Amino acid sequence: MAQQELPGAVRWLDDRVGIAKLGKKNLRKVFPDHWSFMLGEIALYSFIILILTGVFLSLWFRPSMAEVEYQGSYSLLKGLPMSEAYESTLRISFDIRGGLLMRQIHHWAAVLFVAAMSVHLLRIFFTGAFRKPREINWLIGVVMLFLGVVEGFIGYGLPDDLLSGTGLRITEGLVLASPVIGTWLSFFIFGGEFPGDEFVSRFYTVHVLLIPGILLALITVHLMLVVYHKHTQFPGPGRTEKNVVGYPLLPVYAAKAGGFFFVVFGVLAVMGALLQINPVWLYGPYNPAEVTAGSQPDWYMAWLDGAVRLMPGIESEFWGVTISWNVVVPALLMPPLFIGFVALYPFIEQWITGDQREHHLLDRPRNVPTRTGIGAGIITFYGVLWLNSGNDLIATHFHLSINTITWVCRVLIFAGPVIAFWITRRIALSLQRADRERVLHGLESGVITRSPDGRYAEKHTPISPYESYTLTAHEQRPPFEVGPATDGNGVPAPRRRRDRVRAAIARFYFADVVPKPTRQELEAGHAHDDSPAGTPQLDATSSRGSGGAPDPD
Ligand code: HEM
Ligand code: HEM
């Protein structure tokens, strides 16, 4: 657009910051359409809602442990000594107009924020959207998920009621269990003996400033990278590794995304208005001498709670230092290993497949059975820990022995992921076979015909060329192979042992893949179906390798 055509205000800005060029380049940017791409948006919108409601809460919340006597309108707690933090939370809940609604929206938004991030992560994982060039965004995502969980946990520690205190007491236990430095670390965090007078004000700074600040910066980089890399898309006719098929950001996507923000806000407002969450007045102020059995962590903390409940009570002593394995293993060793594996998965997979190319077309999960199986294994591992965090509730609700539940979970934590991996992989392979059948023979029509010699056969309706293309668009690469022991000059090849390990893992990774229909098979398949002569055969096998052959790059 020429300078003169710009509206006045835009021209004014453009003269100063060059906005027109930036807008021209980005506002027409094409964004592909798929329902699963809105998961990242839900995470974004719930974060914005957390900031908006959080600012409201911070106007009235007092991050102080100074003792006051409660004189607010909740008569059951009248006259009780409590911290200013708890008193102000009660005031927000009962005396500030709209306060309880804001608290509840804030808490529900926190629950949704972490949930949306987690499901978004699964979408990225199962479709292979983390592959080159998006590994950095994956890593940023894992850090954001971690920070989101910590932020939520600190958040519900702020009101200083009996529930939040019980959660903090567990944190203190975990910190104390750190070998050698535990006691010092706990004194450092709580500013002396637990709970002390410091933690609310310290946690408050971390909660409203430090972590939201880091998250905001990371989200900005995350979204800039999404724009820079361009969004991935599912394979289909007209979609290649080099283009993006979808709607322009302005006006279509901006309208969709803007509207969707209000949908998310509306749903959270309804939840905040109708569904009670964290009723801090129920158990009264925190007193380190009391714990409440009614304490249930937010869903995203449950896996750690479940892990601690799973581990048998083992302790050892070395040179006068006690190591509580029952805390060290589930709370200090397992989480970094688990999170580390998830964070590094893109690099592990890249090493196994040896695939260094950029990918902008997504995988259908069934076409990468081993990755899909690994994903199912990870979910199962997490799920068993999660289940075990409710072992007390399962026991009381279903009249079961808590010991039996714990033992079942102890077995499942090892066996479950392997079984889930195996079953999922088999299902993915079966779906590949079903796709192959569909491409080669079409759909079962339900129409049975009888031939003159008396044989019965079911008619098959051929699928559309577009579907045929989509079902065969994935590439099938051969697994990594170990090269010759020496090169042409007789010089021994380096890193042979490493390559052999890699080849063995690659063979496992690519095992049993169902070959895509070849062009010959397709033609033979179509020769005896009823497709009208001249139907365009728009299958991807024509342009890409098939039957396990590597694709031309
Ligand atoms: C990722 C971002 C955030 C998450 C996950 C989060 C989570 C939480 C949670 C779960 C609570 C407990 C609420 C309850 O009492 O039921 C809380 C409390 C609080 N949050 Fe946040 N929060 C976030 C961002 C913020 C921001 C940006 C602010 C302020 C600018 C803020 C201010 C507060 C305040 C003042 C409280 C204490 C009041 C209360 O508990 O009702 N939060 N937060
Ligand atoms: C604060 C949390 C997060 C926000 C606000 C956010 C936001 C977004 C948005 C809006 C997109 C584009 C739409 C979409 O694909 O859904 C996106 C893409 C992406 N996100 Fe996130 N995300 C967050 C957390 C994560 C996490 C936890 C991961 C993974 C560990 C992750 C990895 C990615 C990757 C790799 C892409 C590019 C996907 C593609 O082009 O297909 N993000 N994110």
* CATH at residue 236: 1.20.810.10
The pLDDT value given to residue 545:
34
Does ipTM surpass 0.90 in this model? yes
Mutate to test the pocket of ligand 1, among 57, 95, 111, 280 (most ligand atoms within 8 A of CB): 57
218: domain range?
25-293
Phi and psi, residue 437, nearest 5° = -60, -45
- Model confidence at 552, in pLDDT bands (50, 70, 90)? very low
The pLDDT value given to residue 534:
36
Residue 385 domain flag: no
* Ligand 2 neighbour 226 (Cβ under 6 A): yes
Looking at the CA of 150, which ligand is closest? 1
Length of the chain equals 553
Q: What percent of the chain has pLDDT over 90?
A: 68
- The residue contributing the CA closest to ligand 2 atom 41 is 232
Q: Quick check: 354 and 365 in contact, CB under 8 A? A: no
Distance CA 391, CA 394 (A): 5
Q: Give me the residues paired with residue 69 across strands.
A: 81
Distance CA 310, CA 402 (A): 11
Mutate to test the pocket of ligand 1, among 106, 211, 280 (most ligand atoms within 8 A of CB): 106
- The answer for residues whose C-beta is within 8 angstroms of residue 504's C-beta and 6 or more apart is none
Helix (H, G, I), strand (E, B) or coil at 233: strand
Distance CA 77, CA 68 (A): 12
pTM above 0.80, yes or no: yes
Mutate to test the pocket of ligand 2, among 225, 226, 232, 261 (most ligand atoms within 8 A of CB): 226
Q: How would you label 339-355 residue by residue, b for 16+ Cβ within 10 Å and e otherwise? A: eeebbebbeebbebbee
Residue 37 domain flag: yes
How do residues 133-156 score in pLDDT, each as one tens digit? Answer: 999 999 999 999 999 999 999 999
Residue 346 domain flag: no
Ligand 1 centroid, distance to 124 Cα (angstroms): 28
Ligand 1 centroid, distance to 90 Cα (angstroms): 15
Nearest to 366 by CA among 551, 126, 131, 39: 126
Q: Quick check: 145 and 114 in contact, CB under 8 A? A: yes
Nearest to 153 by CA among 56, 328, 269, 278: 278
How do residues 179-215 score in pLDDT, each as one tens digit? Answer: 889 999 999 999 988 888 888 999 999 999 999 999 9
Nearest to 46 by CA among 201, 154, 151: 151
Enter the tokens of residue 312.
């048998």
How do residues 382-430 score in pLDDT, each as one tens digit? Answer: 999 999 999 999 999 999 999 999 999 999 999 999 999 999 999 999 9
Residue 422 domain flag: no
- The answer for residues whose C-beta is within 8 angstroms of residue 252's C-beta and 6 or more apart is none
Distance CA 361, CA 243 (A): 9
How do residues 15-68 score in pLDDT, each as one tens digit? Answer: 888 888 888 878 888 889 899 999 999 999 999 999 999 999 999 999 999 999
Range with the poorest average pLDDT among 167-176, 219-228, 531-540: 531-540
Residue 334 domain flag: no
Helix (H, G, I), strand (E, B) or coil at 97: coil
Q: Which atom of ligand 2 is nearest to the CA of 218?
A: 1
Ligand 2 centroid, distance to 361 Cα (angstroms): 16
Distance CA 403, CA 2 (A): 75
The average confidence (pLDDT) of the chain is 90
Instruction: Give the distance, in angstroms, between the CA of residue 218 and the centroid of all CA atoms in the same chain.
Output: 16
DSSP state of 207: I
* Ligand 2 neighbour 131 (Cβ under 6 A): no
How do residues 339-378 score in pLDDT, each as one tens digit? Answer: 999 999 999 999 999 899 999 999 999 999 999 999 999 9
* Ligand 2 neighbour 222 (Cβ under 6 A): yes
Q: Quick check: 219 and 51 in contact, CB under 8 A? A: no
Q: Quick check: 62 and 283 in contact, CB under 8 A? A: no
- The answer for residues whose C-beta is within 8 angstroms of residue 368's C-beta and 6 or more apart is 128, 428
Instruction: Give the distance, in angstroms, between the CA of residue 339 and the centroid of all CA atoms in the same chain.
Output: 12
Ligand 1 centroid, distance to 206 Cα (angstroms): 11
Residue 36 domain flag: yes
Q: Which atom of ligand 2 is nearest to the CA of 148?
A: 1
Mark out the alpha helices in 177-333 (DSSP H runs): 182-190, 199-205, 211-229, 254-274, 302-310, 325-327
Q: What total number of domains does the chain contain? A: 1
Ligand 1 centroid, distance to 223 Cα (angstroms): 23
Range with the poorest average pLDDT among 327-331, 397-401, 519-523: 519-523
Residue 359 domain flag: no
Ligand 1 centroid, distance to 58 Cα (angstroms): 8
- Model confidence at 528, in pLDDT bands (50, 70, 90)? low
In the block, which residue shows the tokens 């728009």? Answer: 538
Output the ligand 1 site: residues, CB below 6 A: 47, 50-51, 54-55, 57-58, 61, 89, 92, 103, 106-107, 110, 113, 148, 151-152, 155-156, 158-159, 207-208, 212, 215, 278, 280
- The answer for residues whose C-beta is within 8 angstroms of residue 379's C-beta and 6 or more apart is 122, 420
Q: Which atom of ligand 1 is nearest to the CA of 278?
A: 16
Q: Quick check: 80 and 69 in contact, CB under 8 A? A: yes
- Model confidence at 295, in pLDDT bands (50, 70, 90)? low
Per-residue DSSP letters for 448-512? Answer: EEE-TTS-EEEEEEPPPHHHHHHHT-S--PPPP----SB-TTSPBPS-HHHHHHHHHHHHHHHTT
Residue 241 domain flag: yes
Ligand 1 centroid, distance to 235 Cα (angstroms): 41
Q: How many CB atoms lie within 10 A of CB 133?
A: 14
